[in-house]
Amino acid sequence: MVTPGLRLSSAVCTTEIIVVRAPAAEVDLRCGGVTLLDHGVGSPGHRVPEPGMDTGTLLGKRYADPDLGLEVLCTKAGSGTLAVGGSPLPVKSATPLPSSD
């Protein structure tokens, strides 16, 4: 079960994330096409991301699916693509501030 504050690591690259907001339902959170592991459980070894799931993650960026209610923060960049099942998670865009005219 994915819960806020949970730290996860990729099994295929150096990506590490922290869950910021989690849905009530179970989600299949993946990186590089492979299910993420609890932080510190495994290491990438010699595996590589699946083709098409290798666009990378960016340090300090938030990835979110507002329809699911899922938001994660990338704490260590890597070569794998964050996804829920087979659908890549987009980078969350910044909220524009109101102008002070």
3-state secondary structure 64-91: EECCCCEEEEEEECECCCEEECCEECCE
Considering the entire predicted model, what is its pTM? 0.86
The confidence score (pLDDT) of residue 35 equals 92
The confidence score (pLDDT) of residue 46 equals 64
Residue 74 pairs with which residues in a beta bridge?
17
- How does pLDDT run across 48-73, given as a tens digit for each residue? 888 889 999 999 999 999 999 999 99
Nearest to 61 by CA among 17, 23, 28: 17
